[in-house]
Amino acid sequence: MVLQNGTQIWSVPISGTYLIEAGGASGSNGSYNGSTFGWKLGGLGARIKGHFEMTRGTKLKIVVGQQGLLRRKLGLPMTGGGGGGTFVTLLTCEPLIVAGGGGGGANSNPIRGGLDGDPGQATTNGSRYGGSGGKGGLYYNDKATDDEAGTGAGLLSAGQDGRLFIVPSQSFFNGSEGGRFVSCEAEGGFGGGGAPFTQPGGGGGYSGGGVIGLDNLTVAGGGGSFNSGFSQENLSGVNKGDGYVLIKLVL
């Protein structure tokens, strides 16, 4: 196993049939003034399984998603960062398995209509104006400006930055870093999770989760997933915490 800037390179030791299982990371919970209105939960990550025929010496690239972080600043909304997606690809970046991360929990103040984050999706598209075809998620609001969060990145393209001081989440092709807000602890998880600000961050995945930030509705989408194996099992909203990858020789 070789580690390169958070991406692991793994060589198949024996030719045969392998089970690959991946879990996307969950988004962070969101609150308001610590706990005045309780918590809105971050979405759980997807769990994706498939079987693959692989030849000895084949090299795989692996990125394991990390859970998003809470934006910690008392007196202001405390929103959750999006969970990172978990990726298993060939060295060419052709995907085998991708498990989407969950969206961050919203500001729990009921006036803003904040919701729990969406789970990582079992299908390829992100939710809540999420991306499709491996692209990052979109931000939607009812104002010309005032985007207040970062969306999740996908396999091919970054998430939207959402605000001047938010660094956007990066695609798998470009390093998989989570988004971050530069002046305080507010980060999306490694694996393309979007950074929170006054709105929660979208989940990373095959296609990134989007964010809806209306005056009466605030919710972050979960990232999409991908599976090119056989005997598949694709489940939305199963994994809590950081992501994981399991590779097992079965035949």
pLDDT tens sequence across 114-129: 899 999 999 999 999 9
Rounded Cα–Cα distance for residues 90 and 63 (Å)? 12
Give how far Cα 170 sits from Cα of 112, 129, 174, 178, 205, Å.
Answer: 28, 18, 6, 6, 11
Instruction: Provide the 3-class DSSP secondary structure of residue 179.
Output: coil
Q: In the predicted model, is pLDDT for residue 76 greater than 80?
A: no
pLDDT at residue 31, as a whole number:
81
Amino acid sitting at position 217: L
**pLDDT, mean of residues 199-225:** 94
* Structure tokens that stand for 107 in this block: 């500001």
- Mapped onto helix, strand or coil, the DSSP state of residue 207 is coil
Residue 250 has pLDDT above 80, yes or no: yes
Q: What is the tens place of the pLDDT at every residue in 129-173?
A: 999 999 999 998 866 445 678 899 999 999 987 665 678 899 999
In the structure encoding, which two tokens stand for residue 147, read together? 């985007």
How distant is the alpha carbon of residue 97 from its chain centre? Answer: 14
Assign 74 a pLDDT band (cuts: 50, 70, 90): low
Burial degree of 201 (CB within 10 A; 0-12, 13-18, 19+)? buried
The percentage of residues in the chain with a pLDDT greater than 70, rounded to a whole number, is 88
Backbone dihedral angles phi then psi of residue 175, each to the nearest 5 degrees: 105, -15
pLDDT of residue 180: 84
Tell whether the model's pLDDT for residue 223 goes beyond 80.
Answer: yes
Alpha-carbon span 86 to 97, nearest angstrom: 8
With cut-offs at 50, 70 and 90, classify the pLDDT of residue 1: low
Query: What is the signed CA dihedral for 113, 115, 121, 124, rounded to 10 degrees?
Result: 20
Going along the chain, which residue ranges are E strands? 2-4, 7-11, 16-23, 31-32, 45-54, 59-63, 77-78, 86-90, 95-99, 139-140, 166-167, 180-181, 211-213, 218-220, 226-227, 230-239, 244-249
- Whether the CB-CB separation of 21 and 47 falls below 8 Å is answered with yes
What is the per-residue pLDDT for 32? 72
User: Please, what is the Cα angle at 12 between 11 and 14, to 5 degrees?
Assistant: 140
Question: What tokens were used for 122?
Answer: 């079992």
CA atoms within 13 A on the CB side of 182: 8
CA distance 139 to 211: 5
